[in-house]
Chains A and B, each alone.
Chain A
Amino acid sequence: MPVNNNILKIQRYIGSMPSLPTSVAKIMEICNNPKTSPIDLDRVIALDPVLMGKVLKLINSAYYGLQNQVTSLVRAIIMLGVNTVKNLALSTAILDKLADKSGFRALNMEGFWRHSLCVGVVAKMIAKKKGVEPQRLDEFFAAGLLHDIGKIPLNNALADEYIRAMGLADHERIPLHLAEKRSIDIDHAEVGSMIAEAWHLDGPIADAIRYHHDVALYEGKSADIVMAVAVADYYASREGIGFSGCLYPEKVAPEIFDRLGVPKAWLEEIDAAVAAEIEKASIFLKIKS
């Protein structure tokens, strides 16, 4: 990767990004462990008071319609169970990272967020369709949500250059990541990979961030997640759900559907279910502030 001025700016931006709170990484770890105990969960959420506040806010939101205010996490876990609180915490922690509106210039925050959410939702639906074990479903969701995280530094640290890259993609009718590479020397998957490294994210989520436009080059152990995110990304762009800046997405090669074991035609059947899932997940956005 050539080190030029743009890349230095991106590196500086990533350095200044609030690091992924320890709690998110820990919650991801805990979510993938079916034996998580209530005390582990309580401790990990309590590490981050802001996250804890948001989880409680969600529990007290209209979604559950609880008649009595829940003011402690211990009570929330006793009332709703470890699994429910675990999922709420994970989704809240991740969405929180994406829903920071400050400095969004080239890309529209709302559109970007919706696109990311759609990819998360569809990646998880693909995992369900494939019969992936339940404790891994959240990993598919998280990988989908975070796949375009590299666009945040591009959008914020290099807003003018990014607008030009989007213009180039539009003018030449090429996928955005190719235009990024041509005009900024680095694409959002590579930038995302730098963030994953800075946040000590590794494994399937980091792989999905890095390889969702380069599935054919991927040789690691998490091909199912990488392919699911690539297909979900294609679906979200094709259906115009949210907007990630890419008007001309690359088609997914037929062999990817074969390897994934999910027929392309299945994507035609999921519109209503995707809309309903996005609507549900939007509750998180509403409690953002």
Chain B
Amino acid sequence: MFSVKIWGDRGSMPVPGPDTVVFGGNTSCLEVRCGKRLIVIDAGSGIRSLGDWIVRNDLKNGPIDADVFLTHTHWDHIMGFPMFTPIYVPGTTIRIRGPVNFEDETLEQIIGSQLSYRYWPVRQDELAAKITYQSLKETQLDLGDGVVVKTKYLNHPVLCLGYRIEYEGKAFVTAYDHEPFVNLFPTDPTDPDYDAAIAEEGNKAAKEENERIESFYGGVDLLIHDTQYSAKEYNASKIGWGHSSFEYAINAAHRARVKRLLLFHHDPNRSDAELQELELFYQEKICGKSSLRLDASREGMTINL
């Protein structure tokens, strides 16, 4: 069995309410099952329900053992950790891995500091589970049991990793939170700071970095990609915020011969009605032009690979 279940797909902040019933209001959390191995990607608010499910479903078969991979340490991706029930269950083993900025504290301090009295009634030291932390870079990990995890830096205001998980000849990739690389240098010859060589190098670097990201998810069975904005919203005021547009993600996934694309990290202001409309719009738009299967992520959906 190789499956991915969505427990949270919202960007920035949980948004419960009548407008987010279909696609969900919890922030990022994925449950990945590779045979008997349990992998969790991100500890957004969605991890609370996942934790309760794991305790009900897995504990009867023996102590809980999980690998938690964090894409980055922004709050919407770690906020659910204190309510992840398995951390309170004796016998549980959790290996937490994720990238940490050079200037920041350690991963343990960043995640664990949420469990201090000022924020939460239980301190990290009081947890029953055995938890280890490992800061992660661009790398390849063999988790054993045939599970391989590859990582790639994405483009976001803090160090952020995309994950590629391979198992039994199938693969899926997360590419959130991510914004396409752009040339940050002036390219307009009339700009007083214009330098032809730098402009050219910048164009080349941005193009090549984008190609590297695409080759990271080239041909995968499932790509879960950041689509927080529309191209119009992105170009109007969101450049540099570290998120992608629907248009960019769809075109990139098509170029990379991705089989199935899940639109993910929904903007907190996006209602169910709007997301349904956007999903349908883009499905129709690529119909007949691409073999890509495309859906907007819904909380609770499971994808079997």
Q: Taking beta carbons and an 8 Å cutoff, which residues of A are in contact with B?
A: 37-39, 42, 62-68, 72, 74-75, 77-79, 81-82, 84, 87-88, 273, 276, 280
Q: Which residue of B lies closest to A84 (CB)?
A: B102
Which among B60-68, B201-209, B229-237, B267-275 touches the partner chain? B201-209
Task: Given A74-B185, A75-B201, answer yes or no on A39-B212 (Cβ-Cβ < 8 Å).
Answer: no
Q: Are A87 and B105 in contact (CB under 8 A)?
A: no
From residue A58, how far is it (CB to closest CB) to chain B in Å? 9
B193 touches A (CB below 8 Å)? yes
Q: Taking beta carbons and an 8 Å cutoff, which residues of B are in contact with A?
A: 101-103, 105-106, 109, 137-139, 152-153, 155, 157, 181-186, 193, 195, 198, 201-202, 205-206, 208-209, 212
Give A42 to B182 CA distance when docked, in angstroms.
16
Known contacts A38-B184, A78-B202, A276-B105, then 12 further A-B pairs from the complex at CB < 8 Å, ordered by chain A residue? A39-B193, A63-B102, A68-B212, A74-B185, A74-B201, A75-B209, A77-B184, A82-B184, A84-B101, A87-B103, A273-B109, A280-B102
Task: Given A65-B139, A78-B183, A280-B102, answer yes or no on A72-B195 (Cβ-Cβ < 8 Å).
Answer: no
Which A residues lie within 8 Å of B202 (CB)? 74, 78
Q: Which residue of A lies closest to B103 (CB)?
A: A87
The dominant DSSP class at the B interface is loop
Give A37 to B183 CA distance when docked, in angstroms.
12
Q: Are B157 and A81 in contact (CB under 8 A)?
A: yes
Which B residues lie within 8 Å of A81 (CB)? 157
Give A78 to B202 CA distance when docked, in angstroms.
7
Task: Given A39-B185, A39-B186, A87-B103, answer yes or no on A72-B201 (Cβ-Cβ < 8 Å).
Answer: yes
Which A residues lie within 8 Å of B184 (CB)? 38, 77-78, 82
Give A72 to B198 CA distance when docked, in angstroms.
10
Q: List 12 A-B contacts (CB under 8 A).
A: A38-B184, A38-B185, A68-B212, A72-B201, A75-B209, A78-B182, A78-B205, A78-B209, A79-B153, A81-B157, A84-B102, A88-B102
Give A55 to B196 CA distance when docked, in angstroms.
23
Which B residues lie within 8 Å of A79 (CB)? 153, 155, 181, 205, 209
Q: Which residue of A lies closest to B182 (CB)?
A: A78
Q: Are A65 and B137 in contact (CB under 8 A)?
A: yes
Instruction: Give the most central of B183, B184, B212: most A CB within 10 Å.
Output: B184
Give A151 to B7 CA distance when docked, in angstroms.
59
Inter-chain CB contacts under 8 Å: number: 62
Give A66 to B136 CA distance when docked, in angstroms.
11
Give A66 to B198 CA distance when docked, in angstroms.
22
Which B residues lie within 8 Å of A82 (CB)? 184
Which A residues lie within 8 Å of B193 (CB)? 37, 39
Q: Are A87 and B157 in contact (CB under 8 A)?
A: no
Which B residues lie within 8 Å of A66 (CB)? 137-138, 153
Which A residues lie within 8 Å of B182 (CB)? 78
Which A residues lie within 8 Å of B139 (CB)? 65
From residue A44, how far is it (CB to closest CB) to chain B in Å? 13
From residue B158, how far is it (CB to closest CB) to chain A in Å? 9
Which B residues lie within 8 Å of A42 (CB)? 185, 198
From residue A281, how far is it (CB to closest CB) to chain B in Å? 10
Q: Are A276 and B212 in contact (CB under 8 A)?
A: no
Q: Are A65 and B157 in contact (CB under 8 A)?
A: no
Give A98 to B275 CA distance when docked, in angstroms.
57
From residue B209, how far is it (CB to closest CB) to chain A in Å? 6
Give A82 to B105 CA distance when docked, in angstroms.
20
Q: Are A39 and B198 in contact (CB under 8 A)?
A: yes
Which B residues lie within 8 Å of A64 (CB)? 137-138, 153
Instruction: Give the most central of A64, A65, A74: most B CB within 10 Å.
Output: A74
Which B residues lie within 8 Å of A38 (CB)? 184-185
From residue B190, how far is it (CB to closest CB) to chain A in Å? 15
Which A residues lie within 8 Å of B208 (CB)? 75
Q: Which residue of B lies closest to A77 (CB)?
A: B184
Which A residues lie within 8 Å of B209 (CB)? 75, 78-79
Instruction: Give the most central of A62, A67, A78: most B CB within 10 Å.
Output: A78
Give 3 nearest A-B pairs by CB, closest first: A65-B137, A75-B205, A38-B184
Give A276 to B205 CA distance when docked, in angstroms.
33
Q: Which residue of B lies closest to A72 (CB)?
A: B201
Which A residues lie within 8 Å of B138 (CB)? 64-67
Give A84 to B159 CA distance when docked, in angstroms.
10
Q: Which residue of B lies closest to A62 (CB)?
A: B137
Give A39 to B185 CA distance when docked, in angstroms.
6
Give A87 to B105 CA distance when docked, in angstroms.
16
Give A67 to B201 CA distance when docked, in angstroms.
20
Q: Are A39 and B195 in contact (CB under 8 A)?
A: yes
Which B residues lie within 8 Å of A88 (CB)? 102
